[in-house]
Amino acid sequence: MIRRLHLIVACVAAIAVAASAAHAQQVADTTFRPVVGAPRFAPGEGPLVLIDEGHLNFHTMDGRYLPFARLLERDGWRVAPHRGRFTRESLAQARVLVIANALGDTGEWVLPTKPAFTSQEVSEVKKWVEGGGSLFLIADHMPFPGANENLAKAFGVEFLNGFAGDSLGRMGIAMYRRRDGSLADCVVTNGDERIDSIATFTGQGFRLKGKGTPVLTMDRRFAILMPKVAWEFDHDTKKLPGAGLLQGVLLERGDGRVAVFGEAAMFSAQLGGPNGAPMGMNVPLAGQNARLALNVMRWLAKASAAPPAIAPSGGR
């Protein structure tokens, strides 16, 4: 089973070292240009998406999530940052709110993890979603699950504040494939373009406590390591079985929608380490990740169906 996991450890060893020792070495790959087909919206006329930058986010629209923001703009979305705390007024005009790796402080990545959001913010986001808004919540490996767990819990998701690897504790690129059932046959994999494989880059695993549609499901190939300090593992590090945990799920709550993913690099395109190794949508094994990002966003905006054909003008 481990052989089937496709944990390409050698490919990302430099990135893991960079992530643990020097986060600043992870930078956006500004040359990344995915091929994703015809845009859904006319340029600048799509829904407004706000990317959170008010909670010490590791990923921002002008930083490591610049390729994600550009991908949406090429699809016609209007993309803007959300700065400051979440309020009813700040969310009122948005169609989708994207939160990627929010943090509660800038200290060392050690337990206990401080929450990124106040209870009032969680309440405001929950009410906004139930009233028709859509949330794309992305939280990577520890400490991000711990920082985001109160918001996830509000929608019936239990984050595990650890690292996703294999049963031997190795971390790298993990492949989810339709043919083995780890990649679901669902609305976002059967969108405008069929998706058969998705690559993720460590991240976390989480449990679904309410109703939802799994997208990425772990099996017994996976394990979750629960260190007290990020990237520090030893023989005493707690390990949980990964079978049945999720790394991606779709939820419908009230009149709104929520997509939760436990890995952030899969929707980025980064260069890491001294050699600038690719990580994210720019990795060859992740060739369908950009398509998944668009399918998820279109589902969130309830714009997953193709736009109607425009009849040609002219006299009879």
Residue 305 inside a domain? The answer is no
- How far apart (Å, rounded) are the C-alpha atoms in residues 246 and 137? 14
Q: Is the pLDDT of residue 314 over 80?
A: no
Confidence of residue 108 (pLDDT cuts 50, 70, 90): very high
Residue 314 inside a domain? The answer is no
Residue 88 inside a domain? The answer is yes
Q: Three-state SS across the chain? A: CHHHHCCCHHHHHHHHHHHHHCHHHCEECCCCCCCCCCCCCCCCCCCEEEEECCCCCCCCCCCCCHHHHHHHHHCCCEEEEECCCCCHHHHCCCCEEEEECCCCCCCCCECCCCCCCCHHHHHHHHHHHHCCCEEEEECCCCCHHHHHHHHHHCCCEEECCCEEEECCCCCCEEEEEHHHCCECCCCCCECCCECCEEEEECCCCEEECCCCEEEEECCCCEEEEECCECCCCCCCCEEEECCCCEEEEEEEECCEEEEEECCCHHHCEEEECCCCEEEECCCHHHCCHHHHHHHHHHHHCCCCCCCCCCCCCCCC
**Span 152-158, average pLDDT:** 98
- How far apart (Å, rounded) are the C-alpha atoms in residues 257 and 249? 11
Cis check for the bond before 43: say yes or no (omega within 30 of 0): no
Residue 311 inside a domain? The answer is no
Q: How many domains does the chain have?
A: 1
Q: Is the pLDDT of residue 115 over 60?
A: yes
**The CATH number of the domain where 230 resides is what?**
3.40.50.880
Mean pLDDT (the chain) is: 89
Residue 61 inside a domain? The answer is yes
Q: Is the pLDDT of residue 137 over 60?
A: yes
Residue 296 inside a domain? The answer is yes
What integer pLDDT is reported at residue 304 of this predicted model?
Answer: 60
Q: Is the pLDDT of residue 185 over 90?
A: yes
Residue 105 inside a domain? The answer is yes
Confidence of residue 84 (pLDDT cuts 50, 70, 90): very high
| Tens-digit pLDDT profile for residues 279-307 | 999 999 999 999 999 999 999 999 865 44
**Span 85-98, average pLDDT:** 98
- What is the radius of gyration, based on Cα positions, of the chain? 19
Q: Which two tokens stand for residue 171?
A: 């971390």
What is the span of the domain harbouring residue 160? 2-300
Q: Is the pLDDT of residue 1 over 70?
A: no
Residue 42 inside a domain? The answer is yes
What integer pLDDT is reported at residue 273 of this predicted model?
Answer: 87
Q: Is the pLDDT of residue 13 over 90?
A: no
| Tens-digit pLDDT profile for residues 271-286 | 998 889 999 999 999 9
